[in-house]
Amino acid sequence: MKGPAGLYVLDHHAPGASGLAVILVHGSLDRAASFARVVRRLPDLHVVTYDRRGYAHSRTAGPVGVLGDHVADLIALVGAGPAVVVGHSYGGDVALGAALASPGPVVGVGAYEPPLSWTEWWPGRARTADDADPGRFAERFFRRMVGDGAWERVGEERRAERRADGPALVAELTSLRSGGPPFDVGHLNVPAVFGRGGESVWHHRRAALELHAAVPGSELFDIDGAAHGAHLSHPAGFAQFVRAVIRRSGKSGATSADDAGERQPVSREGG
């Protein structure tokens, strides 16, 4: 269905679920469909996923945006709330921005390895000729994040879809590296959980740790054996991460307190 600003929205409203909405926000060069395996493990919750502007079915939902535009879209989707917002990668930055800007309707926030590209310790990226071609840039990004083998296995139609997401990808990654910190999590006034994978690269793990240290009372949630794409490779662990955010919020969003899906090893550190 169409949501605010013409966004493509999937509403997975479980029968008997409470009024709490759980909104999952995808990362760069991704889409709502990537959460399908996570959603199946949250059958008792009212889960909402959506394609962010510039991606997939929301490619025509206005011009491509920078972080502030994606935050505004998420706030519009939250509406009067209450909602828990959980973001993967760049979606974690979007979720944090919405929680900071709308702490009433947003009652809890989760961010899994959000990029902190504006920090001095975040690895830089050498510019190449692909930067001038959003489609080629998207292909190179996909190959770097998912692997050459994965790119070669997908059909040409799906490759064309990812290349078409290039303008949105370039806009959001470029803006994240310029202009200084887009927000200060020290001002966060809603319960927060920061997730990371046990096998993730050092800067993704450090991002979650730095945010956890900066937000008193937050929780650090590790998914053992997972890397950056935990929502795809370890959907049960990511579903447990989502449930940890709900528990931290103090709200009950489920018909059952127990995870209906399979269990995967996790570890937690409270604030």
Q: Name the band, by pLDDT with cuts 50, 70 and 90, for residue 256.
A: very low
Least confident span in 35-44, 194-203, 252-261: 252-261
Distance between CA atoms of residues 136 and 232, nearest Å: 24
Cβ atoms of 191 and 109 closer than 8 Å: yes
Average the pLDDT over each of 21-30, 56-65, 90-99, 123-132 and give the range with the smallest value: 123-132
**228 vs 108: CA distance, rounded Å:** 22
pTM flag (> 0.95)? no
207-248 pLDDT per residue, tens: 999 999 999 999 999 999 999 999 999 999 999 999 999 999
Q: Tell me if 65 sits within 8 A of 201, measured CB to CB.
A: no
Reported as a single tens digit per residue, the pLDDT across 150-206 is 766 777 877 787 788 888 888 888 888 877 899 999 999 999 999 999 999 999 999
Amino acid identity of residue 138, one-letter, is: A
Quote the pLDDT of residue 259: 40
- Residue 2: beta bridge partners? 8
Q: Between 199 and 133, whose confidence is greater?
A: 199
CA 87, 191, 207, 235 torsion-angle sign? negative
Residues 49-107 pLDDT 10s: 999 998 888 988 777 778 999 999 999 999 988 999 999 999 999 999 999 999 999 99
Residue 258: band (very low, low, confident or very high) from pLDDT cuts 50, 70, 90: very low
Tokens representing 177 are 């590296």
- Domains of the chain plus CATH, in order, are 4-119+184-269 (3.40.50.1820)
Using CA atoms, how far apart are residues 111 and 92, in angstroms rounded to an integer?
A: 4
Q: What is the edge-to-edge ordering of all strands in the sheet holding 266-269?
A: 8-13, 46-51, 21-25, 83-88, 106-112, 192-197, 219-223, 266-269
